[in-house]
Structure 1
Amino acid sequence: MRTVSFLDLQTADLEVGTTYECGEGGALRGEPINRLLVVGNRGGIRPRNIRDSYGNAVPGRIAYIALFVTGLVPEWPDRYDTETQTLIYYGDNRKPGKDILHTSRRGNIALKNAFESATADRAGVAPFFVFERVSGSRDVMFLGCAVPGSRHVPPREDLTVEWNVSGGQLFRNYRGVFTVLGCQSISRSWINDLQVGLGAGLSAPHEWMDWIRA
Protein backbone atom coordinates (compact mmCIF):
# COMPACT_ATOMS: atom_id res chain seq x y z
CA MET A 1 0.00 0.00 0.00
CA ARG A 2 1.44 3.36 -1.07
CA THR A 3 1.88 6.25 1.37
CA VAL A 4 2.29 9.93 0.48
CA SER A 5 4.10 12.17 2.96
CA PHE A 6 2.55 15.37 4.31
CA LEU A 7 5.11 17.54 2.50
CA ASP A 8 4.01 16.14 -0.87
CA LEU A 9 0.24 16.45 -0.42
CA GLN A 10 -0.30 19.78 -2.18
CA THR A 11 0.86 18.35 -5.52
CA ALA A 12 -0.23 14.72 -5.07
CA ASP A 13 -2.79 12.88 -7.18
CA LEU A 14 -5.57 11.00 -5.39
CA GLU A 15 -5.14 7.25 -5.82
CA VAL A 16 -7.54 4.65 -4.48
CA GLY A 17 -6.02 2.71 -1.58
CA THR A 18 -3.24 5.24 -1.00
CA THR A 19 -2.62 6.62 2.48
CA TYR A 20 -1.99 10.34 2.91
CA GLU A 21 -0.01 11.22 6.02
CA CYS A 22 -0.85 13.92 8.53
CA GLY A 23 1.78 16.43 9.58
CA GLU A 24 2.59 18.76 12.47
CA GLY A 25 3.01 15.83 14.85
CA GLY A 26 -0.61 14.76 14.46
CA ALA A 27 -2.04 18.17 15.39
CA LEU A 28 -5.26 19.38 13.76
CA ARG A 29 -3.37 21.90 11.62
CA GLY A 30 -1.58 18.95 10.01
CA GLU A 31 -4.84 17.33 8.88
CA PRO A 32 -4.16 15.82 5.42
CA ILE A 33 -7.50 16.35 3.62
CA ASN A 34 -7.20 20.11 3.94
CA ARG A 35 -3.61 19.96 2.70
CA LEU A 36 -4.73 17.94 -0.32
CA LEU A 37 -7.87 19.87 -1.29
CA VAL A 38 -7.99 23.16 0.71
CA VAL A 39 -11.36 22.34 2.28
CA GLY A 40 -10.72 23.06 5.97
CA ASN A 41 -9.76 20.61 8.66
CA ARG A 42 -13.12 20.01 10.37
CA GLY A 43 -16.41 18.37 9.45
CA GLY A 44 -17.39 15.30 7.51
CA ILE A 45 -18.73 17.16 4.45
CA ARG A 46 -16.28 19.77 3.20
CA PRO A 47 -17.23 21.72 0.06
CA ARG A 48 -14.72 23.77 -1.92
CA ASN A 49 -16.15 26.65 -3.94
CA ILE A 50 -14.99 27.47 -7.45
CA ARG A 51 -12.58 30.43 -7.51
CA ASP A 52 -12.69 33.34 -9.95
CA SER A 53 -9.64 34.86 -11.66
CA TYR A 54 -8.88 36.86 -8.51
CA GLY A 55 -8.97 33.81 -6.27
CA ASN A 56 -12.29 34.73 -4.69
CA ALA A 57 -14.92 32.09 -3.94
CA VAL A 58 -17.87 32.12 -6.36
CA PRO A 59 -21.06 31.92 -4.25
CA GLY A 60 -23.20 28.86 -4.89
CA ARG A 61 -20.75 27.15 -7.24
CA ILE A 62 -19.05 24.08 -5.80
CA ALA A 63 -15.83 22.73 -7.32
CA TYR A 64 -15.77 19.48 -5.34
CA ILE A 65 -16.69 18.10 -1.94
CA ALA A 66 -14.54 16.00 0.40
CA LEU A 67 -16.32 13.34 2.44
CA PHE A 68 -14.57 12.05 5.55
CA VAL A 69 -15.53 8.63 6.92
CA THR A 70 -14.24 8.37 10.49
CA GLY A 71 -16.01 5.24 11.73
CA LEU A 72 -16.10 6.84 15.18
CA VAL A 73 -19.85 7.57 15.50
CA PRO A 74 -21.83 4.32 15.91
CA GLU A 75 -25.17 6.18 15.78
CA TRP A 76 -24.33 7.27 12.23
CA PRO A 77 -22.63 4.24 10.64
CA ASP A 78 -21.12 5.45 7.37
CA ARG A 79 -20.13 2.42 5.32
CA TYR A 80 -18.75 1.52 1.91
CA ASP A 81 -19.65 -1.74 0.13
CA THR A 82 -16.85 -2.38 -2.35
CA GLU A 83 -18.78 -5.16 -4.12
CA THR A 84 -21.70 -2.93 -5.10
CA GLN A 85 -19.62 0.30 -5.09
CA THR A 86 -22.26 1.78 -2.78
CA LEU A 87 -21.43 4.30 -0.06
CA ILE A 88 -23.89 5.12 2.73
CA TYR A 89 -23.01 8.48 4.24
CA TYR A 90 -24.76 10.45 6.97
CA GLY A 91 -24.88 14.24 7.04
CA ASP A 92 -23.17 16.60 9.46
CA ASN A 93 -26.12 17.21 11.80
CA ARG A 94 -25.10 14.45 14.21
CA LYS A 95 -25.97 16.20 17.48
CA PRO A 96 -29.14 17.97 18.69
CA GLY A 97 -29.52 21.72 18.87
CA LYS A 98 -29.41 22.75 15.21
CA ASP A 99 -31.67 22.63 12.18
CA ILE A 100 -30.75 19.94 9.66
CA LEU A 101 -29.38 22.56 7.24
CA HIS A 102 -27.52 24.72 9.77
CA THR A 103 -24.32 22.68 9.90
CA SER A 104 -20.69 23.79 9.85
CA ARG A 105 -19.29 24.70 6.42
CA ARG A 106 -22.84 24.35 5.02
CA GLY A 107 -22.15 20.66 4.49
CA ASN A 108 -25.75 19.49 4.63
CA ILE A 109 -26.83 22.22 2.21
CA ALA A 110 -24.17 21.03 -0.25
CA LEU A 111 -25.37 17.45 0.23
CA LYS A 112 -29.01 18.35 -0.40
CA ASN A 113 -28.21 20.45 -3.46
CA ALA A 114 -26.04 17.74 -4.99
CA PHE A 115 -28.75 15.10 -4.79
CA GLU A 116 -31.34 17.48 -6.20
CA SER A 117 -29.08 18.39 -9.13
CA ALA A 118 -28.27 14.74 -9.85
CA THR A 119 -31.88 14.13 -10.89
CA ALA A 120 -32.12 17.32 -12.96
CA ASP A 121 -28.81 18.58 -14.36
CA ARG A 122 -25.81 16.38 -13.69
CA ALA A 123 -23.49 18.95 -15.21
CA GLY A 124 -24.13 21.03 -12.09
CA VAL A 125 -23.05 18.28 -9.68
CA ALA A 126 -19.63 18.45 -8.04
CA PRO A 127 -17.63 15.24 -7.49
CA PHE A 128 -17.30 13.85 -3.98
CA PHE A 129 -13.81 12.73 -2.97
CA VAL A 130 -14.13 10.11 -0.23
CA PHE A 131 -11.53 9.54 2.48
CA GLU A 132 -11.42 7.14 5.42
CA ARG A 133 -9.52 7.59 8.67
CA VAL A 134 -6.59 5.22 9.12
CA SER A 135 -6.96 3.56 12.52
CA GLY A 136 -5.02 5.15 15.35
CA SER A 137 -3.90 8.28 13.51
CA ARG A 138 -4.97 11.35 11.54
CA ASP A 139 -3.71 9.74 8.34
CA VAL A 140 -6.40 9.12 5.72
CA MET A 141 -6.92 6.67 2.87
CA PHE A 142 -8.57 7.66 -0.41
CA LEU A 143 -11.57 5.45 -1.21
CA GLY A 144 -12.61 6.97 -4.52
CA CYS A 145 -14.71 9.51 -6.40
CA ALA A 146 -18.41 9.28 -5.57
CA VAL A 147 -21.60 10.61 -7.15
CA PRO A 148 -25.11 10.97 -5.67
CA GLY A 149 -27.50 8.06 -6.14
CA SER A 150 -27.26 4.34 -6.82
CA ARG A 151 -28.80 1.88 -9.26
CA HIS A 152 -29.69 -0.19 -6.20
CA VAL A 153 -31.95 2.52 -4.75
CA PRO A 154 -34.96 4.36 -6.29
CA PRO A 155 -34.09 8.00 -7.14
CA ARG A 156 -36.37 9.50 -4.49
CA GLU A 157 -34.92 7.27 -1.78
CA ASP A 158 -31.22 8.03 -2.24
CA LEU A 159 -31.34 11.02 0.12
CA THR A 160 -33.61 10.58 3.13
CA VAL A 161 -34.12 12.28 6.48
CA GLU A 162 -33.62 10.19 9.61
CA TRP A 163 -34.51 11.00 13.20
CA ASN A 164 -32.33 10.38 16.23
CA VAL A 165 -32.49 11.26 19.90
CA SER A 166 -29.72 12.39 22.24
CA GLY A 167 -30.14 13.71 25.76
CA GLY A 168 -33.88 13.55 25.32
CA GLN A 169 -33.76 15.83 22.27
CA LEU A 170 -35.01 14.77 18.85
CA PHE A 171 -33.10 15.92 15.78
CA ARG A 172 -32.84 15.15 12.09
CA ASN A 173 -29.99 14.25 9.77
CA TYR A 174 -29.56 13.16 6.17
CA ARG A 175 -28.73 9.67 4.95
CA GLY A 176 -27.25 9.71 1.46
CA VAL A 177 -26.59 6.80 -0.89
CA PHE A 178 -23.71 7.27 -3.32
CA THR A 179 -22.07 5.32 -6.11
CA VAL A 180 -18.28 5.20 -6.06
CA LEU A 181 -17.07 5.39 -9.65
CA GLY A 182 -14.49 3.03 -11.05
CA CYS A 183 -11.71 5.59 -11.57
CA GLN A 184 -8.62 4.53 -9.65
CA SER A 185 -6.80 7.86 -9.85
CA ILE A 186 -7.76 11.53 -9.70
CA SER A 187 -5.09 13.71 -11.26
CA ARG A 188 -3.87 16.92 -9.71
CA SER A 189 -4.64 18.53 -13.07
CA TRP A 190 -8.34 17.71 -12.70
CA ILE A 191 -8.39 19.00 -9.11
CA ASN A 192 -6.86 22.27 -10.33
CA ASP A 193 -9.33 22.49 -13.22
CA LEU A 194 -12.28 21.85 -10.90
CA GLN A 195 -11.18 24.73 -8.69
CA VAL A 196 -11.66 27.19 -11.56
CA GLY A 197 -14.85 25.67 -12.97
CA LEU A 198 -13.33 23.55 -15.75
CA GLY A 199 -14.30 20.14 -14.41
CA ALA A 200 -15.52 18.83 -17.78
CA GLY A 201 -12.18 19.39 -19.51
CA LEU A 202 -9.61 16.94 -20.86
CA SER A 203 -8.27 16.20 -17.38
CA ALA A 204 -11.59 14.71 -16.20
CA PRO A 205 -11.74 10.90 -15.74
CA HIS A 206 -13.84 9.19 -18.40
CA GLU A 207 -15.93 7.53 -15.67
CA TRP A 208 -16.95 10.98 -14.45
CA MET A 209 -17.80 12.21 -17.93
CA ASP A 210 -19.81 9.04 -18.64
CA TRP A 211 -21.87 9.69 -15.51
CA ILE A 212 -22.41 13.37 -16.36
CA ARG A 213 -23.66 12.46 -19.83
CA ALA A 214 -25.85 9.52 -18.79
Structure 2
Amino acid sequence: MDKVIQFESLKDSDLIKGATYKGGRIPNLSSEPISKLLPVGNQSGIRFSGSSLSPKLIVLYTTFKDNDWPDELISNKVIYYGDNKSPGKEIHDLPGNQVLRSIFNNFYLKKEYPLILLFSKGLAGFDRIFHGVLKPGYNGLNEMEDLIAVWKTKKEERFQNYKAVFTILPTEIVKRKDIESLIK
Protein backbone atom coordinates (compact mmCIF):
# COMPACT_ATOMS: atom_id res chain seq x y z
CA MET A 1 0.00 0.00 0.00
CA ASP A 2 1.27 3.46 -0.88
CA LYS A 3 2.17 5.97 1.79
CA VAL A 4 -0.39 8.59 2.82
CA ILE A 5 0.73 11.98 4.15
CA GLN A 6 -1.88 13.79 6.23
CA PHE A 7 -2.77 17.42 5.47
CA GLU A 8 -1.49 18.58 8.88
CA SER A 9 2.00 17.15 8.10
CA LEU A 10 2.47 18.59 4.62
CA LYS A 11 4.76 21.54 5.44
CA ASP A 12 7.38 19.22 6.98
CA SER A 13 7.01 16.27 4.63
CA ASP A 14 9.48 14.82 2.16
CA LEU A 15 8.19 14.00 -1.31
CA ILE A 16 7.84 10.25 -1.72
CA LYS A 17 7.22 8.73 -5.13
CA GLY A 18 3.77 7.13 -5.19
CA ALA A 19 2.62 8.78 -1.95
CA THR A 20 -0.79 10.40 -1.60
CA TYR A 21 -0.80 13.86 -0.04
CA LYS A 22 -4.16 14.41 1.63
CA GLY A 23 -6.19 17.51 0.99
CA GLY A 24 -7.88 19.45 3.75
CA ARG A 25 -11.52 19.15 4.81
CA ILE A 26 -12.72 22.62 3.78
CA PRO A 27 -14.37 22.48 0.32
CA ASN A 28 -12.29 25.26 -1.27
CA LEU A 29 -8.73 25.84 -2.52
CA SER A 30 -7.38 26.30 1.02
CA SER A 31 -7.53 22.47 1.15
CA GLU A 32 -5.31 22.03 -1.89
CA PRO A 33 -2.11 20.26 -0.66
CA ILE A 34 0.51 21.09 -3.31
CA SER A 35 0.68 24.74 -2.23
CA LYS A 36 1.16 23.58 1.38
CA LEU A 37 3.97 21.21 0.37
CA LEU A 38 5.81 23.58 -1.96
CA PRO A 39 6.14 27.34 -2.55
CA VAL A 40 3.86 27.35 -5.61
CA GLY A 41 0.28 28.46 -6.25
CA ASN A 42 -2.84 26.39 -5.71
CA GLN A 43 -4.26 26.62 -9.24
CA SER A 44 -3.34 25.74 -12.84
CA GLY A 45 -1.50 22.80 -14.25
CA ILE A 46 1.92 24.44 -14.39
CA ARG A 47 2.90 25.99 -11.07
CA PHE A 48 6.30 27.44 -10.33
CA SER A 49 8.53 29.30 -7.93
CA GLY A 50 10.60 32.13 -9.37
CA SER A 51 9.97 33.84 -12.69
CA SER A 52 8.45 32.11 -15.72
CA LEU A 53 11.71 32.73 -17.59
CA SER A 54 13.93 31.34 -14.82
CA PRO A 55 11.89 29.12 -12.48
CA LYS A 56 13.62 27.45 -9.53
CA LEU A 57 10.95 24.81 -8.95
CA ILE A 58 8.14 23.59 -11.21
CA VAL A 59 5.11 21.47 -10.42
CA LEU A 60 3.20 19.87 -13.26
CA TYR A 61 -0.29 18.90 -12.12
CA THR A 62 -2.74 16.77 -14.09
CA THR A 63 -5.99 14.91 -13.61
CA PHE A 64 -5.14 12.50 -16.46
CA LYS A 65 -8.82 12.89 -17.44
CA ASP A 66 -8.84 15.74 -19.99
CA ASN A 67 -9.93 14.15 -23.28
CA ASP A 68 -9.01 17.24 -25.30
CA TRP A 69 -5.51 17.40 -23.83
CA PRO A 70 -4.68 13.80 -22.81
CA ASP A 71 -1.70 13.94 -20.46
CA GLU A 72 -0.18 10.46 -20.21
CA LEU A 73 2.13 8.50 -17.95
CA ILE A 74 3.58 5.44 -19.68
CA SER A 75 6.23 3.66 -17.61
CA ASN A 76 8.80 6.46 -17.09
CA LYS A 77 7.59 8.62 -20.01
CA VAL A 78 5.30 11.61 -19.38
CA ILE A 79 3.39 13.44 -22.12
CA TYR A 80 2.12 16.73 -20.76
CA TYR A 81 0.09 19.46 -22.46
CA GLY A 82 0.55 23.15 -21.68
CA ASP A 83 -1.87 25.68 -20.23
CA ASN A 84 -3.32 27.23 -23.42
CA LYS A 85 -6.35 24.95 -23.61
CA SER A 86 -8.93 27.21 -25.23
CA PRO A 87 -8.93 29.80 -28.03
CA GLY A 88 -8.38 33.49 -27.51
CA LYS A 89 -4.74 33.61 -26.46
CA GLU A 90 -1.41 33.06 -28.13
CA ILE A 91 0.72 30.09 -27.04
CA HIS A 92 3.03 32.19 -24.81
CA ASP A 93 0.37 34.46 -23.31
CA LEU A 94 0.06 32.10 -20.35
CA PRO A 95 2.91 31.89 -17.81
CA GLY A 96 2.77 28.07 -17.76
CA ASN A 97 3.65 27.84 -21.43
CA GLN A 98 6.44 30.38 -20.90
CA VAL A 99 7.77 28.00 -18.24
CA LEU A 100 7.67 25.02 -20.63
CA ARG A 101 9.56 27.03 -23.26
CA SER A 102 12.10 28.08 -20.60
CA ILE A 103 12.63 24.50 -19.38
CA PHE A 104 13.49 23.18 -22.82
CA ASN A 105 15.48 26.27 -23.89
CA ASN A 106 17.70 25.99 -20.81
CA PHE A 107 17.98 22.22 -21.20
CA TYR A 108 19.25 22.44 -24.77
CA LEU A 109 21.19 25.71 -24.58
CA LYS A 110 22.72 25.48 -21.10
CA LYS A 111 22.37 21.77 -20.26
CA GLU A 112 20.46 22.65 -17.07
CA TYR A 113 16.90 22.53 -15.83
CA PRO A 114 15.07 23.27 -12.57
CA LEU A 115 13.52 20.76 -10.20
CA ILE A 116 10.37 19.52 -11.98
CA LEU A 117 7.80 17.51 -10.01
CA LEU A 118 4.74 15.64 -11.29
CA PHE A 119 1.51 15.40 -9.29
CA SER A 120 -1.92 14.09 -10.23
CA LYS A 121 -5.38 14.12 -8.76
CA GLY A 122 -5.91 11.49 -6.08
CA LEU A 123 -8.99 9.41 -5.44
CA ALA A 124 -10.86 11.81 -3.16
CA GLY A 125 -11.38 15.58 -2.98
CA PHE A 126 -8.14 17.54 -3.00
CA ASP A 127 -5.88 14.49 -2.51
CA ARG A 128 -2.80 14.53 -4.75
CA ILE A 129 -0.38 11.77 -5.80
CA PHE A 130 3.32 12.47 -6.30
CA HIS A 131 4.67 10.62 -9.35
CA GLY A 132 8.27 11.75 -9.26
CA VAL A 133 11.01 14.06 -10.46
CA LEU A 134 11.09 14.85 -14.17
CA LYS A 135 13.83 15.52 -16.68
CA PRO A 136 13.02 17.29 -19.98
CA GLY A 137 12.94 14.98 -23.00
CA TYR A 138 12.90 11.24 -23.40
CA ASN A 139 15.41 8.68 -24.66
CA GLY A 140 15.30 8.55 -28.45
CA LEU A 141 13.63 11.95 -28.89
CA ASN A 142 15.52 15.00 -30.10
CA GLU A 143 14.89 18.70 -29.56
CA MET A 144 12.43 18.73 -32.48
CA GLU A 145 10.27 16.07 -30.82
CA ASP A 146 10.10 16.71 -27.07
CA LEU A 147 8.47 20.17 -27.04
CA ILE A 148 6.05 20.70 -29.90
CA ALA A 149 3.52 23.45 -30.56
CA VAL A 150 0.31 21.68 -31.60
CA TRP A 151 -2.81 23.14 -33.21
CA LYS A 152 -6.37 22.57 -32.05
CA THR A 153 -9.76 23.87 -33.16
CA LYS A 154 -12.42 24.73 -30.60
CA LYS A 155 -15.50 26.93 -31.02
CA GLU A 156 -14.51 27.35 -34.67
CA GLU A 157 -11.20 28.98 -33.70
CA ARG A 158 -7.67 27.62 -34.17
CA PHE A 159 -5.06 28.03 -31.46
CA GLN A 160 -1.82 26.48 -30.27
CA ASN A 161 -0.66 24.75 -27.12
CA TYR A 162 2.46 22.82 -26.17
CA LYS A 163 2.91 19.07 -26.05
CA ALA A 164 5.95 18.32 -23.86
CA VAL A 165 7.65 15.01 -23.18
CA PHE A 166 9.54 14.26 -19.97
CA THR A 167 11.31 11.32 -18.33
CA ILE A 168 10.54 10.33 -14.73
CA LEU A 169 13.86 9.92 -12.96
CA PRO A 170 14.47 6.99 -10.58
CA THR A 171 14.52 9.33 -7.55
CA GLU A 172 12.28 7.78 -4.86
CA ILE A 173 12.43 10.56 -2.24
CA VAL A 174 13.01 14.30 -2.43
CA LYS A 175 14.04 15.46 1.03
CA ARG A 176 12.39 18.53 2.54
CA LYS A 177 15.79 20.06 3.35
CA ASP A 178 16.86 19.77 -0.31
CA ILE A 179 13.71 21.57 -1.47
CA GLU A 180 14.25 24.34 1.07
CA SER A 181 17.89 24.83 0.10
CA LEU A 182 16.96 24.93 -3.58
CA ILE A 183 14.41 27.68 -2.99
CA LYS A 184 16.89 29.77 -0.95
Equivalent position of 2:66 in the other structure: 73
Once superposed, which parts of structure 1, at least 4 consecutive aligned residues long, lie more than 2 Å away?
58-61
**Separation (CA, whole Å) in 2 of partners of 1:184 and 1:134:** 19
Q: TM-score, normalised by structure 2?
A: 0.94
| Count of residue pairs brought into register by the alignment | 183
**Separation (CA, whole Å) in 2 of partners of 1:71 and 1:149:** 19
DSSP 3-state at the match of 2:161 = strand
After superposition, residues 165-176 of structure 1 pair within 5 angstroms as 165-176=153-164
After superposition, residues 1-214 of structure 1 pair within 5 angstroms as 1-49=2-50, 60-82=53-75, 85-103=76-94, 106-123=95-112, 125-196=113-184
Cα-Cα RMSD: 1.4
**Identity, % of aligned positions:** 33
**Separation (CA, whole Å) in 2 of partners of 1:115 and 1:60:** 11
DSSP 3-state at the match of 1:147 = strand
Amino acid at match of 1:168: E
DSSP 3-state at the match of 2:10 = helix
List per-residue Cα deviations over 1:140-178 (Å, max 9, x = no partner): 000000011111312221100111111111110000000
Offset at residue 61 of structure 1 (A): 3.3
List per-residue Cα deviations over 1:23-67 (Å, max 9, x = no partner): 142421110111111211110000111xxxxxxxx7843211000
Equivalent position of 1:199 in the other structure: none
**Separation (CA, whole Å) in 2 of partners of 1:94 and 1:168:** 14
- Structure 2 unmatched runs, 5+: none
Amino acid at match of 1:169: E
**Separation (CA, whole Å) in 1 of partners of 2:123 and 2:115:** 26
Amino acid at match of 2:73: Y
Whose helix fraction is larger, Structure 1's or Structure 2's?
1
